[in-house]
Amino acid sequence: MSNKILLAPIQGVTDYQFRNTYNKFFKGVDYMYSPYLRVDKDMQLRNSKVKDILPENNKDINLVPQIMTNKPEEFIYMSKLLFDKGYEHINWNLGCPFPMVTNRELGSGLLPHHNKIEDVLAKVLPVIPVKLSIKMRIGFEDEEEIFKILPVLDKFPVLEIIIHPRTGKQMYKGEVNTDVFEKCLALTKHKICYNGDINTLDDYNKLSSRFKTVKSWMLGRGLIANPFLAMQINQNDKDFSDNKMDIFREFHDILSEEYMKNLSGPSHLLNKMRVFWEYFSLSFTNSHKVYKRVKKATSISKYKIAVEQNCSSESWIA
Ligand SMILES: Cc1cc2nc3c(=O)[nH]c(=O)nc-3n(C[C@H](O)[C@H](O)[C@H](O)COP(=O)(O)O)c2cc1C
């Protein structure tokens, strides 16, 4: 398969422990994008964020670190820091929809201001030592903002533009606008990657047969819910394996052990694993019940019982 599969950045989920454990059990993902890095007022990055992108924590992973900023000096600082860590390609977040971010004209909050996007790129691209890709939505409030931004991006050497065809205001709800995505393909000279709501092999096949010129596909929540998805896409076969539950169970156990090593205390671990089960449960029969069992577990021993019940009394349906 010549198409590339990219793991989407999901803050709190696709961290280095997840990425490494995923790689031990599953194949099919070509590049993994880190959740965004952002500097504080004093131009400092949080230690936990730096840890997430350290090369020693990302061995055998094609990692693309993502940054979020609207200030050239921060952009240049983070680019140089990442280059010094060995990265040659970084990604700029123009998609985050959360008001705390967008109110500051960051993430998708920068999309209505194409002049600012142009200004930032004009200042940073001549001096940063790394190649840049951009991950964006089609607009903040208006679905057609992107039509004004793509001509701006055409002026610059951008490696790839990953488009999630929702507006920031939509958050993660409502339909993806594949018609706007289709129009974008004709309006840019850059390589475009599709991202959004690919949850099944069928979703991928429909989109990839509609957008034949698109060669890279970013998977997020669908891949967390069903870690086999990239392999199903690679082999064009949903049922390529008949022991998915056993493989999932082993993957889950190693993943929770990794977090046990790194997180302080049981409640931290339980909270972390609950987030995963919001996604995993979607691949089980009785997904509501599956999630509820985990959510109700108030100790590690109860959590283990819940996982055992989920994996032995339910079936893997994805
Ligand atoms: C909880 C959560 C956290 C996210 N964090 C990031 C992030 O740090 N950077 C980013 O570019 N996108 C982030 N995203 C967006 C995803 O990368 C992706 O664009 C979105 O979920 C749509 O793709 P999907 O339908 O395949 O999940 C996040 C999404 C969710 C649900």
Question: What's the gap in Å between 302 CA and the centre of ligand 1?
Answer: 30
Compute the distance between CA of residue 11 and CA of residue 114 in angstroms, rounded to an integer: 26
CB of 121 within 6 A of ligand 1: the answer is no
Mean per-residue pLDDT, 16-45: 97
pLDDT confidence band for 308 (50 / 70 / 90): very high
Residue 313 has pLDDT above 80, yes or no: yes
pTM score:
0.98
Residue 44 has pLDDT above 70, yes or no: yes
Q: Please give the pLDDT value at position 265.
A: 87
pLDDT digits (tens, 9 = 90+) for 179-233: 999 999 999 999 999 999 999 999 999 999 999 999 999 999 999 999 999 999 9
Compute the distance between CA of residue 155 and CA of residue 189 in angstroms, rounded to an integer: 10
Mean pLDDT of all residues in the chain? Answer: 97
Q: In this structure, which residue's CA is closest to atom 28 in ligand 1?
A: 10
Q: Of 37, 56, 60, 55, whose CA–CA distance to 47 is shortest?
A: 37
Q: Please give the pLDDT value at position 148.
A: 97
The CA–CA distances, whole Å, from 309 to 10, 225, 260, 290 equal 28, 18, 21, 8
Q: Please give the pLDDT value at position 262.
A: 85
Residue 2 has pLDDT above 90, yes or no: no
Residue percentage of the chain with pLDDT more than 90 = 98
pLDDT digits (tens, 9 = 90+) for 142-181: 999 999 999 999 999 999 999 999 999 999 999 999 999 9
Among 15, 172, 217, 229, the mutation site with the greatest number of ligand 1 atoms within 8 A of its Cβ is: 172
Give the DSSP letter of residue 264: S
The residue ranges of DSSP E strands in the chain, in sequence order, are 4-7, 31-33, 63-64, 66-67, 89-94, 131-139, 161-167, 192-195, 216-219
Contacts 24+ apart (CB under 8 A), 47-52: 51/16, 52/15, 52/16
Q: In this structure, which residue's CA is closest to atom 29 in ligand 1?
A: 10
Mean per-residue pLDDT, 62-76: 98
In the block, tokens 């076969």 appear at 237
Residue 1 has pLDDT above 80, yes or no: no
CB of 152 within 6 A of ligand 1: the answer is no
